[in-house]
Amino acid sequence: MREITFASAFAEAVHEEMDRDPTIFVLGTDIRIRGGHFGQLKDIGQTFGPKRVVDSPISEAAMVGLSLGAAMTGLRPICDLNFEDFYLGAMDEVVNQIAKVRYKFNGQFKCPLVIRASSGAARATGPQHSQMLEAWFAHVPGLIVVAPSTAEDAKGMLKTALRGEDPVIFSFHKMLGNMKGPVPDGDYTTPFGQANIVKPGTDVTIAAYSIMVPKSLQAARELEKEGISAEVVDLRTIVPLDVNTVAESVKKTKRLVIAHEAYKFGGMGAEIAAQIGEAVFDYLDAPIVRVGSKHAAIPVSPVLQEQITPGKAEVVAAVQSVMEGVVRV
Amino acid sequence: MREITFASAFAEAVHEEMDRDPTIFVLGTDIRIRGGHFGQLKDIGQTFGPKRVVDSPISEAAMVGLSLGAAMTGLRPICDLNFEDFYLGAMDEVVNQIAKVRYKFNGQFKCPLVIRASSGAARATGPQHSQMLEAWFAHVPGLIVVAPSTAEDAKGMLKTALRGEDPVIFSFHKMLGNMKGPVPDGDYTTPFGQANIVKPGTDVTIAAYSIMVPKSLQAARELEKEGISAEVVDLRTIVPLDVNTVAESVKKTKRLVIAHEAYKFGGMGAEIAAQIGEAVFDYLDAPIVRVGSKHAAIPVSPVLQEQITPGKAEVVAAVQSVMEGVVRV
Amino acid sequence: MSKANYYLQTPRKHEVTSFDRELVLGFLKEMVRIREFESRAEEQTLAGNVVGGIHLAIGHEAVAVGVMQALRREDYVTGPHRGHHLVLAKGSDMKNVMAELLGKATGISGGRGGSMHMADAETGLLGVNGIVGASIVIATGAAFSAKYLGQDRVAVAFFGDGGSNKGQFHESLNMASILDLPAIYVCENNEFAVETAVSYSTGVDNIAERGSSYRMPGIIVDGLDVLDVYVAAKEARQRAVQDSRPTLIEAKTYRFKGHSIGDKEDYRTKEEVQERMKSDPIFKLKHRLEEAGWLSEQQWNELKSEVDREVETAVQFALNSPLPSAATALHHVYAKEMF
Amino acid sequence: MSKANYYLQTPRKHEVTSFDRELVLGFLKEMVRIREFESRAEEQTLAGNVVGGIHLAIGHEAVAVGVMQALRREDYVTGPHRGHHLVLAKGSDMKNVMAELLGKATGISGGRGGSMHMADAETGLLGVNGIVGASIVIATGAAFSAKYLGQDRVAVAFFGDGGSNKGQFHESLNMASILDLPAIYVCENNEFAVETAVSYSTGVDNIAERGSSYRMPGIIVDGLDVLDVYVAAKEARQRAVQDSRPTLIEAKTYRFKGHSIGDKEDYRTKEEVQERMKSDPIFKLKHRLEEAGWLSEQQWNELKSEVDREVETAVQFALNSPLPSAATALHHVYAKEMF
Ligand SMILES: Cc1ncc(C[n+]2csc(CCOP(=O)(O)OP(=O)(O)O)c2C)c(N)n1
Ligand SMILES: Cc1ncc(C[n+]2csc(CCOP(=O)(O)OP(=O)(O)O)c2C)c(N)n1
Ligand SMILES: [Mg+2]
Ligand SMILES: [Mg+2]
């Protein structure tokens, strides 16, 4: 299979879907020429022109609100918010409006749109350009939340989003953008709510999503050398959340580590741990351990950032601790 | 001890602290004459006048942003946001600015302010006037999050907030406002980060906060009749979170139910369950069960609302299920 | 991009006889329908039958009717928390509107939304809204959609004087201006946001002047004169569909009732309200029609009793309708049930 | 409440000799300091020593210097992502500013903030900010504080043309107007927000005209002429402290460099930039001083080498400073460590 980057796979999906469906348009800051801050949609503007690729003023509330009004009236917006941190200027639109519009009006309106933003920390992205808010969105009924980790899923899940009927929050981790992976030729979609076992193993389950999937795979390879066989589950979507696949894996391995880059405190890891604790309580041989960022804003200094955000080492340590049955993290 | 309402106790604290400290001011919509939507600060405007009790235009971002700028330069704002749902128009100010200002500037500035809002569902408050966002705020380093359940704590914790150096999110549940409770005479403060065992018991621990404390106490009384002795822990603050008191209780009771009105999915119950699962894994005789709202916006219809938000019955059912060791909720 | 310039226009007086008689009689009837609906809604609230608080639009009738009559059915409308008049004027069945207030299954939003969350896919009503400012952004998107799809359609956002101080107002009007959207922004300036006077909250003499920040005409209309509203809205609709340019209309009106039922109204005097009620928009139009010889007492009585029958039918319908089924509580969260 | 009316003022030309000579020579030096700092910051970025992206203010020097020189040290300032010039002009030690760009422990924010998060409690700099629009709300609060405490102090918010389309702009300027705050809002209109031209993004001819929505003077200044900026800022400060009224200043400038380092700048031509650089604010002031006989070649050379020494010292200081200690990563989240 051909290998392309996560970002290219994402852009391919936009291209193909815009070709297919004339009601899809893109709204974003600096999107028409530059293709967005990271060039994530380079060439889209040239291909589809200013009617369908619309440069926005810096007005996040209006961007998201416009997308809602458009989605209620027959269009399918892709709203590119640039950095995930910029959602914070449009939260009323996302939470009080988009998430609720179908429900509160008793199903009279749907809201098929995608909001994309670059999430997570890259080198020195600092306190206001590094956040991961998926746990927030998961706590809001009405939103679909996806956080793929591979080029294949980026493309397939965006297509699913653009053919679905619900609002989708697409978390695009900055550090995944340039990662390459195999992507099938031709049209395909990736279903929501199906976790993926990306590496089988027998001793411990590592459940992760987004950037922590490749980091967990690195950790698993390192653990292999120590004789520990880790099964790595890529959750892929946060809402819907496929806890079953994790539970089945845990029934086999008896141990679970959950890894995400968002803050550990109040993060999705807690929800997964709580659900697994309920679902397969009797199978667990050790407490579930969570890996996530420590509780501080993301500092610019790489020395400090490394202390706050988790990497391969933290996953390895967490696995070692559950293998010993002693919580060290 | 005299008995006064939660709302009066809150207002007493504002009165006394404003008397004590001239740098405290209140900013809110319809606050000067009416004392806020629920009259929660009635008479404050008359007592302290328009310099210190400032009516605001409907401009939540500027209200919170103004409070931040004022707090950085020597004042202690009490920003009254009316309904917790209205935070959504000021999230950038709360999360990207207030929560981070001390950290990102390396401790050069502090941000001592309180934001109060009415949270939770009352009869027919509907999709945009019923939210509880404490799990969101807990997921943001830099914020203190308090959700008292008694008049005594409302007063004592507001005083602690107004004498502290950190930004405090004060969750004031609508249904608590008129509940009466004993309040000591004279000046006192209630510490943050200390849960309170409001009813001792031996068979099961119920950890709750805000409105779910009185509901859990009702549940405990009902369970008493079935011969089940529940220990009810009022967490009081969400950040800092006193997991130790819960853990100690669980060591004794071996069973835990966590109850909050916020959505179960992605709520604070997950964090508490995950931490208890790590801390006292070997003591647990049954899976931890969480009680929280079901995953839908809060409908106006009371018939429907009752299906979504939890009450005494859901707590009773959850306790019964952990007593049987079978999860039914 | 065409850049129509800002200009400020002040209220105009139109001869009632310069309009079609049936049209104006229709305006009157629509206004009376709203007034009677609101009176019964108040009565039902005091009787304890309404779920949740409601905000009466008594005093706002001419704004809703004047604008909606200038629109076509396919045009989109959004509104704020105070919106019964908008829902009715846009054409929803009064029975379902009343049923919604009572939280019934037959309500326009199935009882899920209540007074502040009514929408009607049939009439292009994209919803009134519990959040101040939200109506403004959503209509902007609908206007975008109409233009994108090449439809002869406009989108109208209603909002209050208080709403004009939200950031969404600024972002939306700027967006509509630079994207040349067929949008109409109608500020119902009733001089108060709850207890807060517009003269205190709003740093400009006329909200319509804010059009100048967006190269958008600022049209002040007498919101108690349905004819002035109607003509301005017609012109704005024309500007929207022909030039694809937005308009800001400020309708100066007055809230004859409290902010919501139970409001003690200690921010204004009874005398002030009495004085202002002399300009009752229904009374004024009725008077003009009578003067023009276009409305006899008998016609008025017929109109009234027709409306009374409709409203009574709506109240009975609402009272007799079933409550929503508890089993449906988790429907419509997503396209397919997920939780 | 005093309600100073809106008026629009256009750029004014001032004779350089109508100012104090030392003052104007000081302006020149401050501007050169910024320019040289920025050049070295660019060099350090290309050398890989800077942590994170930076936004150079080359072309914006006259705005920062003109405004700051009109302020007192105790006045508050906030700024946006593009802010090195503001930090330096407000009086922070250049060494700590450069060290911050390099993410060092000696940086003005201890390496936690980097280019977009510099603040200085000593100079009243309440921070530049990574979020467009945030500077505007925060300064509004500082102005509130100054007035509340009865201090002879003003607060100044800097922001870009792009920032003027954020909701925060609207909410803040309205708030400052109705509360009569001693605030100055300075829009550095450099014609672009990243690739997006102000003529596309902003539905008004001059951002200063938006003052009319808030009964606030809208003052357009030539942002490449430090004297025009200085006089307008002095007047605005006076209006703030004497009348307690806010001012909106739009400084028309131009960004001589890319949005951030690495910007391909395919949204404008090289020729356009060359043409605009003929109005270099430093070059222009130097020329006027020379014409007035107030600046000899020798004086210029001395000034330049003084600045060069300072900047070189700053670079060496930054390069030789230690990195933050990993052990401090969880400090300053709360007043006391909690997690
Ligand atoms: C964002 C937001 N802030 C505050 C409120 C609470 N609130 C509801 S109505 C209202 C006053 C609105 O005034 P205005 O816009 O003038 O409309 P009116 O009620 O006068 O029709 C307020 C403050 C809200 N619903 N949404
Ligand atoms: C709320 C928000 N939206 C978007 C961005 C991304 N961003 C950073 S700078 C910038 C352009 C700002 O333009 P302008 O305000 O004119 O300032 P300039 O860069 O020209 O100095 C953008 C879009 C941001 N930082 N914050
Ligand atoms: Mg009003
Ligand atoms: Mg700019």
Tell me whether residue B329 is in a domain: no
Tell me whether residue A139 is in a domain: yes
Query: Looking at the complex, does the CB of residue D325 fall below 8 Å from at least one CB of chain B?
Result: no
Host domain of residue D207:
8-328
Q: Which residues of A touch B139 (CB under 8 A)?
A: 135-136, 262-263, 265-267
- Asked if residues C14 and C286 have their Cβ atoms less than 8 Å apart, the reply is no
Predicted local distance difference test score (pLDDT) of residue C5: 82
Tell me whether residue B315 is in a domain: yes
Q: Is the pLDDT of residue D4 over 90?
A: no
Residue A38 tokens read as 């990271």
Could you write out the DSSP letters of every residue in B102-171?
A: HHHTTTS-----EEEEEES--TT--TTS----HHHHHTSTT-EEE---SHHHHHHHHHHHHHSSS-EEEE
- CA of A221 from ligand 3 middle (Å) equals 64
Name the domain count of chain C. 1
Query: Cα–Cα distance between A97 and A109 in angstroms, integer?
Result: 12
Tell me whether residue D291 is in a domain: yes
Do A177 and A279 belong to one domain?
Answer: no
- Asked if residues A295 and D330 have their Cβ atoms less than 8 Å apart, the reply is yes
> How many residues comprise chain A?
329
pLDDT range class, residue C2, cuts 50, 70, 90? very low
Neighbours of D74 (CB within 10 A): 12
Please, what is the average pLDDT of chain B?
A: 97
Query: Looking at the complex, does the CB of residue D334 fall below 8 Å from at least one CB of chain A?
Result: no
3 state DSSP class of A310:
coil
Q: What is the CATH number of the domain that holds B142?
A: 3.40.50.970
Residue B88 tokens read as 């959504």
- Asked if residues A115 and A60 have their Cβ atoms less than 8 Å apart, the reply is no
D114 Cβ inside 6 Å of ligand 2 = no
Residue in chain C closest to B90 (alpha carbons) equals C167
Query: Cα–Cα distance between B236 and B246 in angstroms, integer?
Result: 12
Residue segments in chain A with a per-residue pLDDT below the cut of 50: 327-329
Predicted local distance difference test score (pLDDT) of residue A325: 62
- Asked if residues C88 and C37 have their Cβ atoms less than 8 Å apart, the reply is yes
What pTM did the predictor assign?
Answer: 0.98
Q: Which residues of A touch C117 (CB under 8 A)?
A: 104-105
B187: left (phi over 0), alpha (psi -120 to 50) or beta: beta
Query: Chains contacting A with at least 3 CB pairs below 8 Å?
Result: B, C, D
- Asked if residues B235 and B228 have their Cβ atoms less than 8 Å apart, the reply is no
Nearest Cα neighbor of C113 from C68, C79, C62, C149 is C79
D59 Cβ inside 6 Å of ligand 2 = no
For residue range C184-217, list pLDDT tens digits in order. 999 999 999 999 999 999 999 999 999 999 999 9
Q: Is the pLDDT of residue C129 over 50?
A: yes
Host domain of residue B125:
3-182
Query: Cα–Cα distance between A154 and A171 in angstroms, integer?
Result: 10
Tell me whether residue C101 is in a domain: yes
For residue range D268-306, list pLDDT tens digits in order. 999 999 999 999 999 999 999 999 999 999 999 999 999
- Nearest CB partner across the interface for D171, out of C167, C173, C216: C167
Q: What sign does the CA torsion over B238, B243, B248, B251 have?
A: positive
Residue C60 tokens read as 């706002």
C-alpha D301, offset from chain centre: 26
Predicted local distance difference test score (pLDDT) of residue A30: 94
For residue range D207-259, list pLDDT tens digits in order. 999 999 999 999 999 999 999 999 999 999 999 999 999 999 999 999 999 99
- Asked if residues A288 and A258 have their Cβ atoms less than 8 Å apart, the reply is yes
Tell me whether residue B145 is in a domain: yes
In the residue annotation, B295 being an active-site residue is answered as no
Can you tell me which residue has the tokens 């330049």?
D304
Residue B60 tokens read as 């939540």
Apex CA C192: angle with CA C191 and CA C195, to 5°?
Answer: 150
Query: Cα–Cα distance between D57 and D74 in angstroms, integer?
Result: 24
Do B154 and B17 belong to one domain?
Answer: yes
Name the domain count of chain B. 2
Predicted local distance difference test score (pLDDT) of residue D250: 99
- Label residues D211-220 b or e (16+ Cβ within 10 Å = b): bbbbbbbbbb
Q: What is the CATH number of the domain that holds C229?
A: 3.40.50.970
Beta sheet of B289-293, edge-to-edge order: B196-199, B230-234, B204-208, B256-263, B289-293
Strands B256-263 and C183-189: unpaired
A125 Cβ inside 6 Å of ligand 2 = no
Do A141 and A14 belong to one domain?
Answer: yes
Tell me whether residue B328 is in a domain: no
Neighbours of D278 (CB within 10 A): 8
For residue range B120-156, list pLDDT tens digits in order. 999 999 999 999 999 999 999 999 999 999 999 999 9
Predicted local distance difference test score (pLDDT) of residue A328: 45
Report the gap between the CA of C244 and the closest CA in chain D (Å). 14
Provide CB contacts within 8 A for B178, sequence distance 6+.
Answer: B5, B6, B7
Do B105 and B224 belong to one domain?
Answer: no
Contact state of A89 with D201 under an 8 Å Cβ cutoff: no
Do B142 and B240 belong to one domain?
Answer: no
Neighbours of D292 (CB within 10 A): 13
**Residue B306, Cβ density class (10 Å: 0-12 exposed, 13-18 middle, ≥19 buried):** middle
Q: What is the DSSP letter of C307?
A: H
Do A12 and A64 belong to one domain?
Answer: yes
Side chain identity at residue A267, one-letter code: G
Give the mean model confidence (pLDDT) for residues C70-81. Answer: 98
Please compute, for residue C163, the number of CA atoms within 13 A of its CA located in the half-sphere on the CB side: 28
Which helix (H) or strand (E) segment is D185 a member of?
Answer: strand D183-189
Sequence-ordered alpha helix ranges (H) in A97-210: 101-104, 134-138, 151-163
| Residues flanking ligand 1, CB < 6 Å | B 29, 58, 60, 82, 86, 89; C 55, 80-82, 130-133, 160-163, 190, 192-194, 255, 259
Query: Chains contacting D with at least 3 CB pairs below 8 Å?
Result: A, B, C
Do B129 and B8 belong to one domain?
Answer: yes
Tell me whether residue C335 is in a domain: no
For residue range D36-89, list pLDDT tens digits in order. 999 999 999 999 999 999 999 999 999 999 999 999 999 999 999 999 999 999
Predicted local distance difference test score (pLDDT) of residue A324: 87
pLDDT range class, residue B325, cuts 50, 70, 90? low
Q: What is the 3-state secondary structure of B275-314? A: HHHHHCHHHCCCCCEEEEECCCCCCCCHHHHHHHCCCHHH
**Residue A328, Cβ density class (10 Å: 0-12 exposed, 13-18 middle, ≥19 buried):** exposed
Provide CB contacts within 8 A for C271, sequence distance 6+.
Answer: none
pLDDT range class, residue D1, cuts 50, 70, 90? very low
Predicted local distance difference test score (pLDDT) of residue C3: 53
Do B254 and B290 belong to one domain?
Answer: yes
Q: Is the pLDDT of residue B326 over 60?
A: no
For residue range C142-197, list pLDDT tens digits in order. 999 999 999 999 999 999 999 999 999 999 999 999 999 999 999 999 999 999 99
Neighbours of A227 (CB within 10 A): 8
Which helix (H) or strand (E) segment is A169 a member of?
Answer: strand A168-173
Do B132 and B264 belong to one domain?
Answer: no
Predicted local distance difference test score (pLDDT) of residue C4: 57
Give the mean model confidence (pLDDT) for residues C251-270. Answer: 96
Report the gap between the CA of B5 and the closest CA in chain A (Å). 31
Provide CB contacts within 8 A for A49, sequence distance 6+.
Answer: none
Query: Looking at the complex, does the CB of residue D206 fall below 8 Å from at least one CB of chain C?
Result: no
Residue B126 tokens read as 């509907």
Tell me whether residue A187 is in a domain: no
Last residue of a domain, one of A182, A216, A242: A182
Q: Is the pLDDT of residue D3 over 80?
A: no
Do A8 and A152 belong to one domain?
Answer: yes
Contact state of D76 with B164 under an 8 Å Cβ cutoff: no
Q: Is the pLDDT of residue B302 over 60?
A: yes
Predicted local distance difference test score (pLDDT) of residue D5: 81
- Asked if residues C41 and C54 have their Cβ atoms less than 8 Å apart, the reply is yes
Tell me whether residue B108 is in a domain: yes
Query: Cα–Cα distance between C76 and C141 in angstroms, integer?
Result: 10
Nearest Cα neighbor of A139 from B132, D44, B322, D149 is B132
Tell me whether residue D333 is in a domain: no
Do B95 and B200 belong to one domain?
Answer: no
- Nearest CB partner across the interface for B135, out of A126, A139, A278: A139
Which residue's CA is the closest to the ligand 2 atom numbered 17? Answer: D160
pLDDT range class, residue B265, cuts 50, 70, 90? very high
For residue range D135-176, list pLDDT tens digits in order. 999 999 999 999 999 999 999 999 999 999 999 999 999 999
Q: Is the pLDDT of residue B7 over 60?
A: yes
Contact state of D339 with B141 under an 8 Å Cβ cutoff: yes
Do A34 and A85 belong to one domain?
Answer: yes
Q: Is the pLDDT of residue B309 over 90?
A: yes
Apex CA B18: angle with CA B12 and CA B19, to 5°?
Answer: 90
- Label residues D127-154 b or e (16+ Cβ within 10 Å = b): bbbbbbbbbbbbbbbbbbbbbbeeeebb
